């Protein structure tokens, strides 16, 4: 088989079998935050395909109609150039703003706080308990499933970025600054995490694991950490 | 005419030429060479990523590869290519014989060549920059990049940016002042409008980067902690400064390319563009908007969501002026009878690729989606769709369209079409895959990934596409070479276009037009197909050479009414010499031999003095015949000469740099941790008040020195008063710098205040130098009642020095007195 045939077969089977899955996929959400963003993506993709079809369709037709007569500034510039994108953008911006607001780490009774401290090249995690800080884990972040978790992101050297694609967007770890990111894992399970901001030689391997626990096993984790 | 305008013979001629066609061609060819180097790096990157766990290069080399790929494409390819096209094409489109400051173009080229060479050589020595092309601190700071790598980037890029600033000033003045008689600004070819707006954006967009580079180099070299959070600095200040430049940069790259589309597309559609005024409004809107959305590169840095919402909306709004242009272009094709020739094919490639890049751009402007996609391969793919779609494809269209102009040969269609399809298919294969793999979670800038991630096939296909693309570009280069060597001679206007660059014999002669046209409408060549012949026969303006002068017309900014005859300088080695001295300055900093840097700075000042001295020959000529019974003065005897405007725009750029510095100071004070600083500047304002008072008094003297009715004796007396005041103010500022400021390495406050004072002192010294220059010119008899530009420029910079000194003293002394 030629290499390109193999490639085509490969892509087809990949899309068919794996689809959007993968340890770091943003399109296989494991919680409501990542889910809302994945929905936003699919809506935007559909809209983008439609707009792309419209514009390239108009472009292609321009070659077919040939000399459609004097062009109307009103149609092309005011209608298609201004009114059309303005309408689409207003709707999209509102949609994006509402989702973004819903993902904010607002105060709630059952929020669990965990510190994530980045350095070249590993992540350390430490639950914030009622009586101080719990024990550190390196490279593994334990969280409860079904409860909002606020990750308090810090860095000890250069800029890193905390990212668990299945659970939420990313948040930079910046020296001298403390950031907060809300995660929610719908189900107990294991999720891949990775440093998203280039942080030097060890950037590629700067990954970590998130384990979401059911209430019983979370109680065990807390007991061990305190 | 040719003898007057052409370069001299031999090596000296080649090194000393200042002709815009020579310099423009050099920029274009050099930029293409750097593009090829950048492409090779891209292929090495794609080879490494083609398979999981690849052992082709290690992370140390890989980090250099992607940093250099980005830096080369942005700073050594895109911007210089624009400069080259502008230098070559603008005078021809505007009916002029050269740019406004030919020696400055040559100087810019040498700076670009030397700076670019430093960067590329560092690759061969294995010390290339490796912190990513946006050089985030503190990764690029001394503790985390102890080697010379980051210095190479900061010095090399700043050296290259000298040429961008020179080009910006030169393009502004040339478009505004050097147009053919009668060429009103609202009849100007759209390409000139695009370049005018681009140049204005460069003037305001590049200073934040230059300032950021200076600050980071100061931090690296002398431990001044602007970006160190432990001593009152903030790593995010670098990001603000970088993207304050970096986002406008995208439009600086896109707008000239859009200008090419607006020029080539109507010709290919055999009609005129629709919505001329709307397009100008759209590019002005783009220029303004582009300075208000840099924060969309920083959506994940923890800035409050509502603030992000503002920048999100601003980013999305950019789609509207872009939409106006896209639909104006499509509407133009509808209105015309389009021909699918090779330039049009590249324009169609531009449409497909750029529209996709625009759509993913709107997606990324949505804050929640950005939180997921930021720093992944999706963003890399998006930016390549925007930049390759919005720059490379239009440039390819422009290249095949204007190549007959450079070579005088007919295009060869078939090879070019194959090249197009290879580039188009290869590009889309590579970057569609990268969108997908980005959504599957592949971060940017990783050198290796495990098989289990499920990214393997996407990466392999992307790499495959990258090599297809490389074949396409090789074929394009071959096509160009074949056309140069084997192409048949073309007729004068092969595309039947209407703009002035086709009203000359091909390949273009060194002087462009034997006589200058009078322009009354958009498409002078369509209106008068015999125009080229008439101009060649000397029927236009300035058709009679005299005294071996290089003459072109200076006209009113808006109406194009002729105002003066511009006498342009001839070939000289001075630009090369000045660039070598500038290079000496930069290399001595790079090598850490700081004692040598001031020596080279003085050498640059001496070259600049000589340069300004030889600009005009100092005689009064009165009114001269310009043809068609028009009598005009030479530019030196008229108000508003190119030199005057060049100085104005230089102050605009310099003022932007200063404003960014004050922004940085205010930003650190309000945002960074570790403030207020442990020690402030000595509160006593007396020295500052005296310095301000004498400078303010001297600015009254400056007004009198430049008064229309002043005699030479009066001018000299007032200039002497200015120098006295400048010396006093300079001494006071230096005293303040040496005694009142805490050690700069102690805290970001002290470092910033030190930079503010050095900036003020530097500008007082500059004003002193220019005032001294004006005095020397009077003494030599080069200033007369009509020829006062030297005095006016000195007065202008004196006013600027006064203004910055006032701001610096207010911003530093008032908080110290309140504390």
- The CATH number given to whatever domain includes residue A159 is 2.60.40.420
Last-in-domain residue among A102, A136, A158: A102
Supply B455's token pair. Answer: 């990214």
Q: Which residues of A touch B237 (CB under 8 A)?
A: none
Q: Which residues of A touch B317 (CB under 8 A)?
A: 89
Q: Do B328 and A97 touch (CB under 8 A)?
A: no
Residue A12 has pLDDT above 90, yes or no: no
A78 in a structural domain? yes
By C-alpha distance, which of B143, B142, B156 is closest to B67? B156
Rounded to the nearest angstrom, the minimum Cα separation between B818 and chain A is 28
Q: A38: domain range?
A: 30-102
Which residue blocks in B50-77 are alpha helix, DSSP H?
A: 59-71
Backbone angles phi, psi at B551, to 5 degrees: -115, 140
Res A6: pLDDT: 52
Q: Is the same domain home to A90 and A134?
A: no
Q: Is B52 helix (H, G, I), strand (E, B) or coil?
A: coil
Q: How far apart are CA B431 and CA B434, in angstroms?
A: 5
Supply B757's token pair. Answer: 């004072």
A37 in a structural domain? yes
A88 in a structural domain? yes
Q: Is the same domain home to A143 and A212?
A: yes
A41 in a structural domain? yes
Cβ-in-10-Å burial (0-12, 13-18, 19+) of B548 comes to exposed
Q: Is the same domain home to A163 and A121?
A: yes
Q: Is the same domain home to A95 and A134?
A: no
- Pairing type for strands A207-213 and A140-144 reads parallel
Q: Do B464 and A3 touch (CB under 8 A)?
A: yes
Q: Is the same domain home to A78 and A160?
A: no
Kindly state the average pLDDT of the residues A29-41: 95
Res A1: pLDDT: 42
Last-in-domain residue among A57, A82, A102: A102
Query: What domain count does chain A have?
Result: 2
Q: Confidence class of residue A3 from pLDDT cuts 50, 70 and 90?
A: low
Res B530: pLDDT: 92
Last-in-domain residue among A102, A135, A150: A102
How far does chain A reach from its first CA to its final CA, in angstroms?
59
Which residue blocks in B336-455 are alpha helix, DSSP H?
A: 342-365, 367-373, 377-387, 393-407, 413-439
A73 in a structural domain? yes
Q: Does B146 touch chain A (CB under 8 A)?
A: no
Q: Which residues of A touch B369 (CB under 8 A)?
A: 37, 40-41, 44, 96
A10 in a structural domain? no
Rounded to the nearest angstrom, the minimum Cα separation between B33 and chain A is 29
Which residue blocks in B440-489 are alpha helix, DSSP H?
A: 456-486
Q: Is the same domain home to A63 and A139?
A: no
Which of A89, A103, A154, A202 best tests the B interface by mutation, with the highest count of B CBs <10 A? Answer: A89
Q: Which residues of B touch A165 (CB under 8 A)?
A: 372, 441
Q: Which residues of B touch A81 (CB under 8 A)?
A: 275, 278, 282, 320, 323-328
- A residues 80..119 contacting B (CB < 8 A): 80-82, 84-86, 89, 92-93, 95-97, 99-101, 103-104
Residue of A23, A77, A165 with shortest CB distance to B327: A77
Q: How far apart are CA A34 and CA A28, in angstroms?
A: 8
Q: Is the same domain home to A97 and A144?
A: no
- Pairing type for strands A112-119 and A122-129 reads antiparallel
Q: How far apart are CA B798 and CA B819, in angstroms?
A: 32
The pLDDT tens digits for B207-241 are 999 999 999 999 999 999 999 999 999 999 999 99
Q: H/E/C letters for each residue in B733-794?
A: HHHHHHHCCCCCCCCHHHHHHHHHHHHHHHHHHHHHHHHHHHHHHHHCCCCCCCCCHHHHHH
Rounded to the nearest angstrom, the minimum Cα separation between A220 and chain B is 30
The pLDDT tens digits for A150-204 are 999 999 999 999 999 999 999 999 999 999 999 999 999 999 999 999 999 999 9
Q: Do A55 and B351 touch (CB under 8 A)?
A: yes
Residue A112 has pLDDT above 90, yes or no: yes
Res A171: pLDDT: 97
Q: Do A48 and B359 touch (CB under 8 A)?
A: yes
Contacts 24+ apart (CB under 8 A), B785-790: B786/B620, B786/B633, B786/B636, B786/B637, B786/B638, B787/B616, B787/B618, B787/B620, B787/B636, B787/B637, B788/B706, B788/B715, B789/B636, B789/B641, B789/B643, B789/B644, B790/B612
Q: Is the same domain home to A151 and A208?
A: yes
| B270: closest chain A residue by CA | A67
Kindly state the average pLDDT of the residues A29-37: 95
Q: Is the same domain home to A155 and A70?
A: no
For chain B, which ranges sit under pLDDT 50?
none
Q: Is B344 helix (H, G, I), strand (E, B) or coil?
A: helix
Q: In chain B, count of helices (H) and strands (E)? A: 27, 4
Residue A67 has pLDDT above 80, yes or no: no
Res A9: pLDDT: 47
Rounded to the nearest angstrom, the minimum Cα separation between A159 and chain B is 7
Q: Do B440 and A27 touch (CB under 8 A)?
A: yes
Q: Is the same domain home to A186 and A148?
A: yes
Residue of B302, B327, B351 with shortest CB distance to A80: B327
Cβ-in-10-Å burial (0-12, 13-18, 19+) of B530 comes to exposed
Supply B176's token pair. Answer: 């505004």
Q: Is the same domain home to A97 and A117?
A: no
By C-alpha distance, which of B129, B133, B134 is closest to B60? B129
Q: Is the same domain home to A139 and A43?
A: no
Contact B390/B253 with Cβ under 8 angstroms?
yes
A7 in a structural domain? no
Which of B228, B278, B366 best tests the A interface by mutation, with the highest count of A CBs <10 A? Answer: B366
A14 in a structural domain? no
Res B456: pLDDT: 95
Residue-range domains of chain B with CATH: 2-486 (1.20.210.10), 676-819 (1.20.120.80)
| A106: closest chain B residue by CA | B305
């Amino acid at each position: 088989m030629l290499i390109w045939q193999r490639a085509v077969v490969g892509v087809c089977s990949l899309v068919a079998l794996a689809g959007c899955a993968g340890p770091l996929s943003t399109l296989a959400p494991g919680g409501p935050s990542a889910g809302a963003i994945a929905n936003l993506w699919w809506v935007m993709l559909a809209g983008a395909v439609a707009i792309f079809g419209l514009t390239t369709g108009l472009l292609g037709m321009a070659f077919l109609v040939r000399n459609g007569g004097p062009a109307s500034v009103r149609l092309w510039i005011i209608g298609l150039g201004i009114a059309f994108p303005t309408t689409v953008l207003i709707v999209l911006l509102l949609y994006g703003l509402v989702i973004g607001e819903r993902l904010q780490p607002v105060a709630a009774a059952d929020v669990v706080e965990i510190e994530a401290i980045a350095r070249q090249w590993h992540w350390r995690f430490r639950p914030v308990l009622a009586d101080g800080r719990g024990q550190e884990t390196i490279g593994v972040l334990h969280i409860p499933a079904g409860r909002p978790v606020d990750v308090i992101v810090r860095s000890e050297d250069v800029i890193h970025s905390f990212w668990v694609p299945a659970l939420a967007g990313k948040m930079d770890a910046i020296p001298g600054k403390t950031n907060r990111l809300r995660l929610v894992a719908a189900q107990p399970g294991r999720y891949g995490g990775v440093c998203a901001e280039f942080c030097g030689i060890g950037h590629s391997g700067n990954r970590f694991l998130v384990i979401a626990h059911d209430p019983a096993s979370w109680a065990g984790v807390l007991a061990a950490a305190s | 005419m040719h003898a007057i305008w052409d370069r001299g013979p031999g090596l000296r001629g080649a090194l000393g030429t200042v002709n815009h066609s020579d310099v423009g061609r050099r920029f274009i060819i050099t930029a293409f060479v750097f593009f090829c180097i950048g492409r090779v790096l891209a292929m090495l990157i794609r080879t490494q990523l083609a398979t999981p766990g690849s052992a082709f290069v290690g992370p140390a080399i890989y980090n250099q590869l992607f940093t250099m790929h980005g830096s080369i494409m942005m700073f050594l390819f895109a911007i210089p290519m624009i400069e080259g096209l502008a230098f070559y094409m603008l005078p021809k489109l505007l009916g002029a014989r050269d740019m406004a400051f030919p020696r400055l173009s040559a100087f810019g080229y040498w700076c670009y060549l030397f700076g670019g060479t430093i960067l590329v050589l560092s690759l061969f020595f294995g010390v290339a920059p490796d912190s990513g092309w946006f050089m985030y601190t503190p990764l690029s700071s001394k503790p985390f990049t102890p080697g010379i790598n980051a210095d190479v980037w900061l010095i090399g890029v700043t050296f290259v940016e000298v040429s961008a600033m020179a080009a910006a000033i030169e393009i502004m003045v040339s478009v505004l002042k050097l147009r053919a008689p009668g060429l009103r600004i609202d009849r100007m070819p759209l390409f000139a409008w695009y370049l005018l707006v681009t140049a204005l954006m460069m003037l305001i967009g590049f200073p934040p980067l230059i300032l950021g580079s200076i600050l980071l180099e100061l931090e690296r070299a002398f431990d001044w902690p602007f970006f160190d959070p432990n001593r009152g600095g903030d790593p995010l200040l670098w990001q603000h400064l970088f993207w304050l430049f970096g986002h406008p940069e995208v439009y600086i790259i896109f707008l000239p390319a859009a200008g090419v589309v607006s020029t080539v597309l109507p010709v290919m559609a055999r009609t005129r563009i629709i919505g001329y005024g709307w397009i100008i409004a759209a590019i002005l809107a783009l220029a303004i908007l582009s300075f208000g959305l840099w924060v969309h590169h920083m959506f994940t840095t923890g800035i409050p969501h509502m603030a992000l919402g503002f920048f999100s909306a601003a980013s999305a709004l950019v789609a509207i002026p872009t939409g106006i242009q896209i639909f104006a272009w499509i509407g133009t094709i509808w209105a015309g009878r389009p021909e699918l020739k090779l330039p049009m094919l590249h324009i169609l490639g531009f449409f497909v690729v750029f529209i996709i890049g625009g759509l993913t751009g709107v997606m990324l402007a949505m804050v929640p989606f950005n939180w997921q996609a930021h720093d992944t391969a999706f963003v890399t793919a998006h930016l390549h769709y925007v930049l390759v779609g919005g720059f490379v494809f239009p440039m390819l269209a422009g290249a095949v369209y204007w190549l007959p102009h450079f070579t005088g040969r007919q295009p060869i269609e078939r090879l070019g079409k194959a090249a197009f399809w290879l580039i188009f298919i290869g590009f889309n294969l590579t970057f569609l895959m990268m969108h997908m793999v980005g959504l599957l979670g592949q971060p940017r800038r990783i050198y290796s990934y495990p098989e289990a991630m499920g990214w393997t096939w996407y990466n392999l296909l992307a790499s495959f596409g990258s090599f297809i693309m490389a074949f396409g570009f090789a074929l394009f280069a071959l096509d160009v070479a074949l056309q140069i060597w084997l192409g048949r001679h073309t007729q004068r206007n092969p595309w039947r276009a209407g703009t002035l660059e086709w009203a000359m014999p091909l390949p273009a002669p060194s002087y462009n037009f034997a006589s200058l046209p009078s322009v009354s409408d958009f498409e002078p060549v369509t209106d008068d197909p015999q125009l080229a012949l008439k101009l060649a026969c000397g029927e236009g303006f300035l058709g009679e050479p005299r005294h071996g002068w290089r003459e072109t017309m200076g006209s009113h900014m808006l109406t194009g009414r002729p105002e003066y005859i511009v006498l342009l300088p001839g070939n000289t080695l001075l630009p090369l010499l000045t660039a070598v001295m500038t290079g000496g300055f930069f290399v001595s900093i790079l090598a850490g031999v700081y004692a040598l840097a001031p020596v080279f700075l003085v050498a640059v000042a001496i070259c600049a003095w000589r340069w300004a001295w030889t600009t005009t020959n100092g005689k009064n000529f009165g009114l001269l015949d310009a043809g068609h019974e028009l009598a005009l003065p030479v530019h030196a005897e008229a108000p508003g000469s190119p030199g005057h405007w060049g100085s104005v725009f230089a102050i605009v750029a310099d003022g932007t740099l200063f404003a960014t510095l004050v922004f940085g100071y205010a930003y650190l004070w309000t945002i960074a941790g570790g403030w207020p600083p442990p020690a402030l500047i000595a509160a006593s304002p007396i020295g500052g008040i005296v310095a301000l008072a004498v400078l303010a008094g001297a600015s009254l003297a400056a007004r009198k020195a430049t008064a229309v009715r002043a005699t030479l004796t009066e001018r000299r007396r007032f200039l002497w008063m200015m120098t006295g005041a400048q010396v006093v103010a300079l001494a006071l500022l230096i005293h303040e710098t040496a005694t009142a400021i805490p050690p700069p390495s102690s805290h970001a406050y002290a470092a910033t205040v030190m930079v503010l004072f050095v900036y003020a002192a530097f500008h007082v010294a500059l004003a002193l130098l220019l005032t001294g220059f004006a005095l020397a010119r009077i003494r030599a008899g080069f200033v007369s009642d009509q020829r006062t530009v030297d005095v006016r420029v000195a007065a202008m910079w004196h006013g600027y020095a006064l203004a910055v000194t006032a701001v610096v003293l207010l911003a530093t002394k008032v908080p110290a007195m309140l504390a």
